[in-house]
Structure formats: structure tokens, C-alpha cells
A and B are shown apart, each in its own frame.
Chain A
């Protein structure tokens, strides 16, 4: 059985007119179905780059990437888009919702690209908004929502096409502690439902909510360890529970 994700010696070099930046330096990584991984590291350490390559938003300069046993490095743009649509759900720090469209239209958008019928789309939207506990915002515009609500809509959108893997780049970066806690609860729930989650973060509280933490430094993985749930510091955990 091959891993869900398998990176081998992946290197990414950004070339601008004069400067060459080594963003990822021979990174190898195996991710299994159902994992919940936090990627941490200082600014510029290559976290986003790694997530983007994993999500097929960008291609590695060298190395190999097997997704569910398939070599995806050589696929053309359309085929990569196809895999992205089928496998990944993206969540961004800045939410990146379509401000002119309603919450419902935002959540439905990935299904539109997949060619899901309108009836099924509408039903799925209701289902997802219920899961995110924001059903009443169906017809609102994103700019009428709070940051936490926006991020819930973004999660709903990411989940629209039943993705195996959720990729979140600093999903709590623009949220206060209360909303951060609710997003962490949400990610835990999704992971319990069987979704594989990779989350990039600066926040050690967010990282500790994951089951595995990968640390990057200068484009290299410097540590990769499972989180010992017993060692979690109690105040943070209590604070989270108090809210819900």
C-alpha cells in the first residue's frame, strides 16, 4: 500500500530576475490517510511553498510527488486541475471568498467547476452550512460576516466536493482567540470524520491541536514528530472547551 502523499527529495527554487531562492531543499515526506498535520517554522522557511506544491498549485523544481500512488509531477495543467478538484480543499488566511457572490454561491462554486447538478449543489450547500453552524447566513454576502464566520464559509467551500485532503495556510492567522478555538474544533471534527488535514501555522496552540508536527527551517524538515496528547498544556485546552 502506498501512502496518500509521498514526496521524495522535492526541491523548489524560485528564480526572479537576479535572485535565486531555495524555498524547499530536498524535502521527503509521507502522509497517510486520516492524518492531521501541522507545519510550523519561521517566516520564509518554506511552509507555504510546501503546501502549494502538495496542493498542485505549484510544481517542484526537482524531486518526485506521488499522490495516491500516482506520479503527479509530470501531469499537464488540466490533469492537475482535475486532481485538485477531486482531492483537495483549500483554506486561506485571508479567506479569499468572492465578495460579490452570496455565501451559498461561494460554497457552490467548486461544485460548479466539477459539473455537479444544481439540485445536488443546493442540497450540499445547505448540508455544509448546517455542519458549519451558519445556515442562517445562506444569502448574506461575505463582507456582512465576521472573520470567524468567513472562515467557516471558506471551510464549507473547501469541503464541497468531498475532498480527501484539506490544505489550510494559516487558517487562524486573521482570527481572534475565540474564533481560532472554534476553527480548531472544526478541524478536529473534520479529522474525526476521516479528512486528512495539513495546516500551516505560526501559532503553537494551533500546531498542538494536530496529531503530528513538522518543523521547517530554511526549506528543510528539521523535526517531524507525533504530538503527545498527555503533554498538552491544560489552560489552553480548557480555554477552548469553555467556549463551546
Chain B
């Protein structure tokens, strides 16, 4: 029975293909936007989690000033994670040598790495670009699991040579490929950026940072995905250019056989005790980072959500209109059907099925468009994220509801037509 009605509804939709499609555009747009909104939130969260899992076993301890607003501290965390450390308020030295060696000797701690980082402008050939200078230490390669892709490691250079040498990471080369080799076109598509053939070639090129000339001595690659645009600089060169206050935080690698939480607490507990501070030392909490990003995306989501709502309401009214037109066009048919035994509810059902089919088809097309947009975006950003089946189900149910809501009034009008007058209509 329902199947027969569905068949009838489909036939009517196809009979008026163009008109049906026009009335669906709004729904397609609305549903696609809703899908994209949902996906943005998901993808940010997913991307952050990916990054965290890449750094398994490493905690980042930081000093948070109570006077600094929480947003600032979150911003600082964000900068640190994205490799752009160094925020004004935090340019104070909060970790001393004693801290480092004490923490290193703690039970469950494998190694520590003080993060001295500074975001700088780099002059490369006749152009300028940016990067994050990081202070070299003997355990750097091992701590961040860096592998050599071209040239030599810092340790391969004699101590007196190191002053004029920097080791860059592959991202730095990839991003600036068009500067190193003019035949390469500048690309904003992350996926197209990798230029492995350049890694050995850039060794020997010179770059200028704060008017000092450095030779690129090697290219390294990070598995963990945490480093980006890194320029590794020898410690004495770094110290001669930047203050100790640029150490924004301390990375601590924890033995996987120990409980991460427990060791983290031991480390922060020690720091707060020896510095006489009241919980100022803390472990960077990814939850706050995620909630911060969610905050940003939620503003975006709200704006897009309003657009989506408006377009859905407009689309709904469009559907209502098309259904009214359909009722008027088929007045005689409705009258005849009533005469040969169709109840009011049968007529109502027929029209509601029709409007729901219409909006459902629109919803499905919207989902397809939405998935398309998200996939293209993911491709361009060279990211991966699973498609949430829940949203597809939600969107289908939602679009059916839309059909119910906006199809009801036209369907009721159809059902309540005067039979005689309806049959007499031309």
C-alpha cells in the first residue's frame, strides 16, 4: 500500500522534473551546509587527536601565569602545538638547569627537552618567508624522532662549524620549494607540496635570519607530525641571538610502562613545590585546546547554521508552494479519487508522501554535495577524517520532517476539497 503511494509520488516528481529540481535547490544547499558545519567540528577534533596520538608518551609542561587570561594561555598552547611558540607574557624563564636534571632523574621519565623556540622571518634568496627557530640539543633527533633526508646532522659538524649551520625540516623545504627552485610553481595545496628531490639539493644554500647568514647543513623529517617549518640552530648561536626566556615549555618523554597521569602529576608537583607556586606549572591539556578550537568553529558554525536555517525555511516554503500548485493542478483528479473511494486521509497521505519524497531526495542530494565539499577540502588540506554516518541518517530524517512540516497544509487542503466542485474543475 505505502509502496504504491511511493511509486505514484515518484512518478509525479519525475513528470515535473525541472520544477521539482528548482524547488529542491534550497534544500540541497541547506542540508549540504548543515553537513559541512557538522563535519568542520568533527574534523578539527579528529585532526587534533591525530596529532596528539602522534606524540604518544610525551607531555608538555608549561608555566601559566595566573594574571594571564585563560584565552591567552590557550592561545599560547595553540601556538606551541602549531610550532609557533613565544608569546609576550610568557617570555620569562621558568625552568632552570636544576629542574631539568631533577625531572630527568624522576622515576618513569625517559628524557626531557626544553623547548626554546622563536618564530622568525627568514630571508631566502631574494624573498622572505617565516619559520620557527629551535635551539639544538644533543637529544633533539631522538626526542622528536627526526630522520635525516639530506645533508648531515648537526652532530656531524665540528663544534666551530655549527655556529653557521642550520638544519631545516622537510616542511620548510616543501613550503618554500618555489624559492629554492624557481621552476617549481608555488602551491597552496598541501598535498602537492612534497618535493623530496629538493631535500639533498638545498644543502649548501644560504638563508638569513636577523641579518646573520646560515648555511643549510641538512634536512630532517618528523614522523610525529608536530614539527613544522623548523629551523634547528646550534645552541650557542641561538643563545647569542635569543634570550633564555624563549623557553616556553618543557617536553617530557614518559616511559610507556608507567601511568602517564601519575608521572605528569609528579613532575608538576615537583615544579610547583620547588618554585613555591600554586599550580602554575601544569601539563598542557588537549581538552582545553579542543574546546578552544571548538569555540572558534562554533562561531563559524553559528553563522553558517543561520544561513542554512534561512535557506531551509525558504526551501520549505518553496516546497509548500509547489505542493499547493500541485493540489490546484490536480483538483479534478483529487475529486475523482474521492468519488471512487479515497478517504480524506488517503488523499492527505498521498500528498504528504509526495512532499516528503521531494524533500528526502533534496536531502540526499544535499548530503552528496556536502560530502563532496568536505572530501575536496580534506584532499586540498591533505587530511583524513571518516565520514560520520550519523549525520547522513540525521539529514535524511531531518529532510523527511521538513517534508512533513511543509507538506501538511497543502495535503490538508487537498483532502478537504469539496468533491463535487473538485470534479467540476477543468
Beta-carbon contact of B340 and A90 below 8 Å: yes
Beta-carbon contact of B419 and A92 below 8 Å: no
Which chain B residues numbered 327 to 378 have a C-beta less than 8 Å away from chain A? 332-333, 336-346
The CA of A77 and the CA of B341, in the complex, are separated in Å by: 11
Given that A81-B342, A84-B341, A100-B15 are known contacts, is A115 also in contact with B1, CB under 8 Å in the complex? yes
Q: Which residue of A lies closest to B421 (CB)?
A: A58
Q: How many residues of chain B get a CB closer than 8 Å to chain A's CBs?
A: 21
The CA of A97 and the CA of B162, in the complex, are separated in Å by: 94
A contact residues, range: 20 to 34
Chain B residue contacts of A57, Cβ below 8 A: 338-339, 419-420, 423
The CA of A69 and the CA of B419, in the complex, are separated in Å by: 25
The CA of A98 and the CA of B332, in the complex, are separated in Å by: 10
B279 to nearest A CB, angstroms?
72
A22 at the interface (CB under 8 A from B): no
B11 at the interface (CB under 8 A from A): yes
Chain B residue contacts of A110, Cβ below 8 A: 340-341
B12 at the interface (CB under 8 A from A): yes
The CA of A96 and the CA of B424, in the complex, are separated in Å by: 10
A114 to nearest B CB, angstroms?
6
Beta-carbon contact of A81 and B340 below 8 Å: no
A109 at the interface (CB under 8 A from B): yes
Beta-carbon contact of A113 and B340 below 8 Å: yes
Q: Is the interface of B mostly helix, strand, loop or mixed?
A: helix
Q: Which residue of B lies closest to A82 (CB)?
A: B343
B4 at the interface (CB under 8 A from A): yes
Given that A81-B338, A90-B339, A115-B1 are known contacts, is A96 also in contact with B344, CB under 8 Å in the complex? no
A147 to nearest B CB, angstroms?
17
A157 at the interface (CB under 8 A from B): yes
A55 at the interface (CB under 8 A from B): yes
The CA of A183 and the CA of B1, in the complex, are separated in Å by: 32
Out of A52, A100, A113, name the residue touching B341 (CB < 8 Å).
A113
Beta-carbon contact of A84 and B344 below 8 Å: no
- Scoring A residues 80 to 112 as 1 if CB is less than 8 Å from chain B, else 0, what string do you get? 011011000110100010101000000001101
Chain B residue contacts of A114, Cβ below 8 A: 341
Please name 27 pairs of A and B residues whose Cβ atoms are closer than 8 Å in the assembled complex, sorted by A: A52-B420, A55-B339, A57-B419, A58-B419, A77-B343, A78-B344, A81-B338, A81-B341, A81-B344, A84-B341, A85-B341, A90-B339, A92-B336, A92-B423, A96-B336, A96-B423, A98-B333, A100-B11, A100-B12, A110-B340, A113-B337, A113-B340, A113-B342, A113-B343, A157-B340, A158-B340, A161-B341
- Interface of A toward B, CB cutoff 8 Å: 52, 55, 57-58, 77-78, 81-82, 84-85, 89-90, 92, 96, 98, 100, 109-110, 112-115, 157-158, 161
